[in-house]
Amino acid sequence: MKPLRQKMLNDMKLRRFAPNTQEAYVSAVAGLAKFYKQSPDLIDKEKIQAYLLHLSDELKLSWGTCNVAVAGIKFFYTQTLGMDSMQLGIPPMKTQRKLPDILSDEDLTRLFQCTRNLKHKTMLMTTYAGGLRVSELVNLQLQDIDSGRMTIKICQSKGNKDRYTILSHRLLTELRTYWRKYKPHFWLFPGLFSDRPMTRSSAELIYNCAKKRAGITKEGGIHTLRHGFATNLLEAGVDVRTIQLLMGHSSITTTARYIQLTSKKLSATKSPLDLLEIPDMKRFKGM
């Protein structure tokens, strides 16, 4: 491994960055170096800015992907190389406020019914029933399922935090059926090799294939199931603070955004137009 790459990894490990973040940041810097065919410590700020414009304007990468590239490159130059952030001329990242699509009850029913592979079906149901991130899903172990307390333990998730989420009785039945057939030993959903967990890309592919078979055209990947978990709990009357704890949000503001997605609250709210007493226009016909 090259010294600069190793130094960057060490800098991230010291700051306790999650493995996924480390991988994404290193990939961002590697992409920059590959684009110019130069060691990244020899690339000046004009080239960095031109590369970031290339990602957004020419490659048309998503907002989130570009933000990750900006964060990774900025970390490398400011933390690993010790440059002043002002020298880079990289503008601060902005968060795109885009509401996700939410699957209806009918969508979810079709999704699970169309997934005939028992392992895949159980995996998707676990994601939805527990409100899990895909990284949390693939890293579940058998010991994380506690049928006595009816909880699922999420170990060292985002922010290196542990938490518990709910284990539904229906999911527990599905998990027991799944276990009797597949007999997983350590990982709840192992990959091609039983001693390794399923990859995140495999979980995404399984969801996208199931969504296609179910005829669901709404945008979004497997993370849509996590959005649906929060939204449907809100519609069921669960308070925001409880949902925050179940989902592992560090800020309740993040959880509160799901209020915008609750269709029952929206449909129950009257438009101000409906509150006006406007005379029936039919009375004025023929005048």
Quick one: which H or E segment has residue 271? Answer: none
With a cut of 90, say whether residue 126 has pLDDT above it: yes
d(CA 250, CA 258): 15
121 is catalytic: no
| DSSP SS3 for 154 | strand
Helix axes 19-36, 3-14, angle to 10 degrees: 150
User: 212 and 261 share a domain?
Assistant: yes
Question: Which of these is catalytic: 5, 7, 223, 257?
Answer: 223
Choose between 285 and 241: higher pLDDT.
241
pLDDT band at 246 (very low <50, low <70, confident <90, very high): very high
pLDDT at 283: 53
158 is catalytic: yes
pLDDT at 282: 52
Question: Which of these is catalytic: 110, 133, 163, 227?
Answer: 133
With a cut of 90, say whether residue 268 has pLDDT above it: no
Q: What are the strands of the beta sheet with 151-154, ordered from one edge?
A: 145-146, 151-154, 163-166
| DSSP SS3 for 119 | helix
Side chain identity, residue 244:
Q
31-36 mean pLDDT: 95
pLDDT at 87: 67
Side chain identity, residue 190:
P
User: 149 and 235 share a domain?
Assistant: yes
Question: Which of these is catalytic: 158, 200, 213, 257?
Answer: 158
pLDDT at 51: 93
User: 131 and 236 share a domain?
Assistant: yes
54 is catalytic: no
Choose between 74 and 93: higher pLDDT.
74
User: 210 and 256 share a domain?
Assistant: yes
In a domain, 123, yes or no: yes
Residues 6+ apart with CB under 8 A from 214: 107, 110, 111, 113, 114
With a cut of 80, say whether residue 11 has pLDDT above it: yes
120 is catalytic: no
User: 226 and 109 share a domain?
Assistant: yes
pLDDT at 285: 54
Percent of the chain with pLDDT over 70: 87
User: 175 and 135 share a domain?
Assistant: yes
Give me the domain span that covers residue 162: 105-265
User: 40 and 12 share a domain?
Assistant: yes
50-65 mean pLDDT: 88
36 is catalytic: no
pLDDT at 84: 83
Question: Which of these is catalytic: 110, 120, 227, 249?
Answer: 249
| DSSP SS3 for 8 | helix
pLDDT at 280: 60
The answer to whether the CB of 126 falls within 8 A of the CB of 191 is no
Question: Which of these is catalytic: 120, 211, 226, 227?
Answer: 226
Hunting for tokens 């955004």 — which residue is that? 257
Residue 191 burial (CB count, 10 A): 14
pLDDT at 144: 97
d(CA 255, CA 247): 8
Side chain identity, residue 200:
R
223 is catalytic: yes
pLDDT at 275: 62
With a cut of 80, say whether residue 57 has pLDDT above it: yes
pLDDT at 117: 95
Instruction: List pLDDT tens digits, range 150-205.
Output: 999 999 887 778 999 999 999 999 999 999 999 999 999 999 888 999 999 999 99
pLDDT at 22: 92
The answer to whether the CB of 230 falls within 8 A of the CB of 247 is yes
User: 19 and 139 share a domain?
Assistant: no
User: 242 and 162 share a domain?
Assistant: yes
